[in-house]
């Protein structure tokens, strides 16, 4: 099998077997991630870097072919024969070329298909300016959730949407909205350059694939303050950590200014984690949602982030939700096992108190105690 044939077959296999990721490493057989678990593909080990180069030679955009040699790392995306798109990162490790491939389904997901709580849809439906952040660790479904939000806007609002992505994952077909999708390295050199001019392009909605440095975050906050709806992802675990992560981008003497700007511009922080579900191979989102009301604004300005979890827990009527509340709901709906939820619970005692005797095991629901 030629290198080109191998990568084509492996990409098709990702769709066929429902793999979320593919790992290509010299000295190892190709490896899929299915249902969160790594599984070796029954193929020969990858012999050397020259073989990997041949695998990806025709996939790497011509205009970016020298970036890997210069930086040892390259992100790009391609569309496969199945209609799915693949986000590919080739990277140098111990002088060898390796690759990680993430499959992005061709169909843009809905809130329902992602099993997200109603507050996701309600928030994006009500919000026309400000900053919406989706937070989570790698592989928590942030991109899919943001795609569902963008698609909702696309279907319901006559607005101009500009996305800045590295790389483009979901490709949107304009419906009610006009959409301009810009890819780093192909349409624009970097996030800073794209954001420098984005407000001159008459956007109503700005989507930033990942907010990962001071310039990107500052541009997002400023755009939100000037009447735009800005959406993007941040790599961290929960709402309180999201603020800490944002402040890490700025020197200490600027923290008061950033907190004041966030208090004015922030609309919502939606955090999520994917939890193994009862159905084999399934993963279900547990979510935490912080909405920026008057109490939250005051806490942000004062730097009292440690109070946010209690505010979230006490404001469920407004649509806020904690991870504990979310895990409890998933247990009651028999989406996840009790003992699995306990492994992911921020507080096992709080979760045990919430579910009030519901308990499941690997064999299924084994008890409903204390419920009438």
Whether residue 234 lies inside any domain: the answer is: yes
**Same structural domain, 85 and 148:** no
Q: How far apart are CA 161 and CA 154, in angstroms?
A: 8
Whether residue 357 lies inside any domain: the answer is: no
**Same structural domain, 138 and 260:** yes
Q: Region 241-256: what's the mean pLDDT? A: 95
Residue 86, domain CATH: 3.30.450.90
pLDDT of residue 358: 60
Indicate the burial class of 138 (C-beta count within 10 angstroms; 0-12, 13-18, 19 or more): exposed
**Same structural domain, 168 and 289:** yes
DSSP H helices, the chain, are 3-17, 49-56, 67-71, 118-126, 142-156, 191-197, 214-225, 239-248, 255-265, 294-302, 308-314, 323-332, 338-344, 348-355
Q: Which of 278, 299, 321 is the last residue of a domain?
A: 321
**Same structural domain, 245 and 307:** yes
Whether residue 50 lies inside any domain: the answer is: yes
Whether residue 113 lies inside any domain: the answer is: no
Q: Which of 272, 299, 301 is nearest to 310 (CA)?
A: 299
More reliable by pLDDT, 339 or 360: 339
Q: Which of 168-172, 309-313, 337-341 has the lowest mean pLDDT?
A: 168-172
Beta bridge partners of 180: 162
Q: How far apart are CA 205 and CA 228, in angstroms?
A: 6
Whether residue 219 lies inside any domain: the answer is: yes
pLDDT band at 357 (very low <50, low <70, confident <90, very high): low
Judged against a pLDDT cut of 50, whether residue 309 lies above it is answered with yes
Q: What is the DSSP secondary-structure string of 147-207?
A: HHHHHHHHHH---EEEEEESS--SPPPPSSSEEEEEEBTTTBS-HHHHHHHGGGG--SEEE
Q: Region 38-58: what's the mean pLDDT? A: 95
Q: Region 350-358: what's the mean pLDDT? A: 82
Whether residue 144 lies inside any domain: the answer is: yes
Q: How far apart are CA 268 and CA 12, in angstroms?
A: 37
Q: Which of 22-36, 62-76, 303-317 has the lowest mean pLDDT?
A: 62-76
Q: Which of 52, 69, 104 is the last residue of a domain?
A: 104
Judged against a pLDDT cut of 90, whether residue 343 lies above it is answered with yes
pLDDT band at 369 (very low <50, low <70, confident <90, very high): very low
Judged against a pLDDT cut of 80, whether residue 239 lies above it is answered with yes
Residues 85-109 have pLDDT tens digits of 899 999 999 999 999 999 987 789 9
**Same structural domain, 60 and 95:** yes
Whether residue 354 lies inside any domain: the answer is: no
Residue 228, domain CATH: 3.40.50.300
**Same structural domain, 80 and 14:** yes
What is the number of domains present in the chain? 2
Domain membership of residue 55 as a residue range: 3-104
Beta bridge partners of 137: none
The whole-chain average pLDDT of the chain stands at 92
Beta bridge partners of 275: 284
**Same structural domain, 172 and 63:** no
The DSSP bridge pattern shows strands 37-40 and 31-34 to be antiparallel
**Same structural domain, 202 and 74:** no
Strand order in the sheet with 160-165: 178-183, 160-165, 205-208, 229-234, 130-135, 266-276, 283-291
Judged against a pLDDT cut of 50, whether residue 364 lies above it is answered with no
Q: How far apart are CA 358 and CA 367, in angstroms?
A: 6
pLDDT of residue 1: 86
Q: Region 226-242: what's the mean pLDDT? A: 94
Q: Which of 57, 75, 104 is the last residue of a domain?
A: 104
**Same structural domain, 153 and 223:** yes
Judged against a pLDDT cut of 90, whether residue 6 lies above it is answered with yes
**Same structural domain, 272 and 123:** yes
Q: Region 101-129: what's the mean pLDDT? A: 93
pLDDT of residue 139: 86
Strand, helix or coil at 41? coil
Percent of the chain with pLDDT over 70: 96
**Same structural domain, 142 and 177:** yes
Beta bridge partners of 133: 232, 269
**Same structural domain, 189 and 255:** yes
Whether residue 347 lies inside any domain: the answer is: no
Q: How far apart are CA 268 and CA 254, in angstroms?
A: 22
Judged against a pLDDT cut of 80, whether residue 207 lies above it is answered with yes
Judged against a pLDDT cut of 90, whether residue 119 lies above it is answered with yes
């Amino acid at each position: 099998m030629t290198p080109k044939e191998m990568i084509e077959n492996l990409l098709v296999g990702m769709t066929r077997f429902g793999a979320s990721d593919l790992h290509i490493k010299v000295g190892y057989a190709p490896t899929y991630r299915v249902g969160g678990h790594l599984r070796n593909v029954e193929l020969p080990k990858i012999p050397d870097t020259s073989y990997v180069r041949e695998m990806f030679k025709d996939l790497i955009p011509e205009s970016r072919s020298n970036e890997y040699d210069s930086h040892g790392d390259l992100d790009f995306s391609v569309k496969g024969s199945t209609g799915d798109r693949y986000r590919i990162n080739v990277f140098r490790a111990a002088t060898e070329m390796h690759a990680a491939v993430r499959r992005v389904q061709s169909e843009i997901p809905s809130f329902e298909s992602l099993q997200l709580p109603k507050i996701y849809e309600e928030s994006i439906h009500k919000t026309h300016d400000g900053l919406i952040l989706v937070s989570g660790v790698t592989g928590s479904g942030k991109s899919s959730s943001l795609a569902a939000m963008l698609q909702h806007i696309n279907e319901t609002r006559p607005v101009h949407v500009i996305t800045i992505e590295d790389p483009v994952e979901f490709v949107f077909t304009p419906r009610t909205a006009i959409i301009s999708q810009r890819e780093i390295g192909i349409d624009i050199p970097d996030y800073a350059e794209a954001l420098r001019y984005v407000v001159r392009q008459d956007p109503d909605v700005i989507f930033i694939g990942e907010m990962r440095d001071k310039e990107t975050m500052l541009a997002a906050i400023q755009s939100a303050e000037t009447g735009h709806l800005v959406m993007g992802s941040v790599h961290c675990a929960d709402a309180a950590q999201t603020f800490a992560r944002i402040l890490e981008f700025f020197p200490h003497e600027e923290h008061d200014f950033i907190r004041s700007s966030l208090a004015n511009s922030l609309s919502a922080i939606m955090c999520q984690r994917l939890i193994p579900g009862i159905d084999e191979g399934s993963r279900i989102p547990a979510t935490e949602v912080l909405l920026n009301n008057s109490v939250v604004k005051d806490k942000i300005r004062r730097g009292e982030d440690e109070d946010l979890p209690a505010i979230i827990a006490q404001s469920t009527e407004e649509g806020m939700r904690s991870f504990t509340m979310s895990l409890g709901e998933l247990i009651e709906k028999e989406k996840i096992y009790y003992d699995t939820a306990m492994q992911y619970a921020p507080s096992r005692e709080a979760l045990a108190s919430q579910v009030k005797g519901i308990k499941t095991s690997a064999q299924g629901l084994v008890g409903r105690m204390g419920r009438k």
